């Protein structure tokens, strides 16, 4: 008779609880590290009415969008305003940051300069954080957006187009 040599062999034991605990801990650390920057940016100041530099590292944009004309009702108006806000948020952030850059450098913005600044400001606009949104009495929606970068004000003041 043939005897199976593997009959007494046990599969390697894996402690599932330890593996799950380690994976959960690593996931928690990763999530915590991602939210740290946004929570820091949101905690910089409670001022949500000032548009401009909060400090040397953070610029705050206040963006407002109205609902489409002809929209009736509270929910429909707010939904329309929210859609319009999300569509125009990035462009309005660019516009305010271009104006701030021009003001810092005491220059006027031409079309060619604007195109150059759009390319250079992209890295900062891509890191924007919406701090808060709220609806106004006219059903428009306002978003307070912060753009954070170490030495942002100095970088904008010395930004040059070729």
For 76-101, write each residue's pLDDT tens digit. Answer: 999 999 999 999 999 999 999 989 88
Q: pLDDT tens digit string along 36-66? A: 455 555 556 677 888 899 888 999 999 999 9
**Residue of 129 and 109 predicted with greater confidence:** 129
Give the number of other Cβ atoms within 10 Å of residue 44's Cβ.
15
Residue 15 lies in a domain: no
Domain membership of residue 32 (yes or no) is no
In this structure, is residue 17 part of a structural domain? no
User: What is the predicted pLDDT for the residue at 45?
Assistant: 63
Q: Reply yes or no on whether the pLDDT at 161 is more than 90.
A: no
Q: Which pLDDT does position 18 carry in this prediction?
A: 67
Q: Is residue 22 part of a domain?
A: no
Whole domain around residue 73: which residue ranges?
46-157
Mean pLDDT of all residues in the chain?
Answer: 80
Q: Average pLDDT, stretch 7-24?
A: 63
Cβ within 8 Å of residue 50, ≥6 positions away: 60, 62
Give me the residues paired with residue 133 across strands: 143
Q: How many domains does the chain have?
A: 1
The answer to the question of residue 93 being in a domain is yes
**Across the strands, what pairs with 52?**
60
For 84, residues 6+ apart whose C-beta sits below 8 A from its C-beta are 65, 66, 67, 68, 141
pLDDT digits (tens, 9 = 90+) for 19-37: 667 776 666 566 555 444 5
**What pLDDT is attached to residue 36?**
42
94 part of a folded domain: yes
pLDDT at 7 over 70: no
């Amino acid at each position: 008779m043939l005897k199976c040599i593997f009959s007494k062999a046990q599969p390697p034991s894996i402690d599932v609880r330890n593996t799950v605990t380690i994976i959960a801990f690593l996931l928690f650390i990763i999530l915590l590290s991602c939210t740290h920057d946004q929570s820091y940016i949101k905690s910089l100041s409670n001022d949500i009415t000032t548009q401009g530099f909060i400090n040397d590292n953070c610029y705050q944009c206040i963006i407002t969008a109205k609902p489409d004309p002809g929209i009736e009702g509270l929910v429909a108006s707010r939904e329309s305003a929210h859609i319009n806000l999300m569509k125009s948020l990035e462009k309005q952030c660019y516009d305010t940051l271009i104006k701030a850059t021009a003001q810092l450098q005491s220059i006027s913005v031409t079309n060619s300069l604007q195109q150059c600044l759009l390319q250079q400001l992209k890295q900062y606009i891509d890191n924007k954080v919406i701090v808060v949104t709220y609806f106004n009495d006219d059903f428009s929606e306002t978003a307070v957006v912060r753009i954070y970068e170490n030495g942002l004000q100095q970088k904008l003041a010395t930004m040059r187009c070729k």
